[in-house]
Amino acid sequence: MIKYLLNKYNDIDIEKANKLFESAFIEKFVFPLILLIVGSWLINRSIERYKHNNALDLQAESFYREHSGNELQKILWSWSELVLNVEMIKEMSTEDFQTLFQKTFVYGSERTINLVSSYQQHNYKKEQNEDHNYKSLVYVAMISSSLKRDFTNQIVDPLQILKIKITDYDDAKMRKYYKSIEKEIKQAKNREFY
């Protein structure tokens, strides 16, 4: 059998094979068709992988919302109370804050968790002046806004939340704090943690 195949392929004329591959039919139809088939296969494979990843994300989000929706609603309520009733911050104990931070960590998105951790770093600074207090308010408003997005997928400008409560609202000052916090969050997100 092997001798037969070797003899058969030895009889193939190389020039005839070259002419076949150089023919207009092969160059203008077969090669482009092969490229088209391979290209569409690669595109379809990429699309299927994307659909699969999206399906997994949707499944996880559905499970997350089904099992934690009520708890996320309570957390959102707690943070919104803090921003709309500043006196509550003074009344909350360290344990109350730790519980709120822990629940936020468990149920919040990556952005929300980054905001909370940055807020805590801000709180560790012992300075208690007007700038510190206003920046704290902006943090709490941003956390509330981020949780609202986590829970309802609605985007609310945190500075609009502050306008509800602050009577002497200074847009330039609040935007400065907001941009500063955004910069901190972006830096935290860019750090590798693995």
Q: Is residue 31, in this structure, part of any structural domain at all?
A: no
The amino acid sitting at 114 is N
Q: Is residue 167, in this structure, part of any structural domain at all?
A: yes
pTM: 0.65
Q: Is residue 35, in this structure, part of any structural domain at all?
A: no
Q: Is residue 62, in this structure, part of any structural domain at all?
A: no
**Residue-wise pLDDT tens digits, 82-109:** 888 878 888 888 899 899 999 999 888 8
Q: Is residue 81, in this structure, part of any structural domain at all?
A: yes
Look at the chain and report how many structural domains it folds into.
1
Q: Is residue 53, in this structure, part of any structural domain at all?
A: no
**Residue-wise pLDDT tens digits, 180-194:** 899 888 887 776 554
Domain holding 111, by residue range, is 69-190
Q: Is residue 38, in this structure, part of any structural domain at all?
A: no
Q: Is residue 164, in this structure, part of any structural domain at all?
A: yes
